Structure 1
């Protein structure tokens, strides 16, 4: 069996448990760090140009409404 899973560690204790499982030769920990990307890079190409302009316009309207409160 050779399955690879990508997991996110949410508690430092979990990393210790994973290393213990590795010492028992039950799993192999492949440490990779994901680099944070900018939201503009992440969502580039997701919206059409028209949708993006509409979304931007709507966002600006909402911000202006909050300024008036």
Structure 2
């Protein structure tokens, strides 16, 4: 795999393809780095309120607590 970041000087970018890629399907993407790394706030369980049923939420909460207890016990 070849991956690089460039800052174009104009609307043309020359791309050299490795010899072993010749004759094979390759994917080329062009996007702004800022488009894929937006600053988003961290999500908490409260952000998912109403998405899960109360039963599912309680089961998830119990599993998380059990996992934390096991983790702390193993430390």
Give yes or no for TM over 0.5: no
State the structure with more CA Rg. 2
TM-score by length of 2: 0.42
Q: Which of structures 1 and 2 has the larger relative contact order (alpha carbons within 8 angstroms, sep 6+)?
A: 1
TM-score by length of 1: 0.45
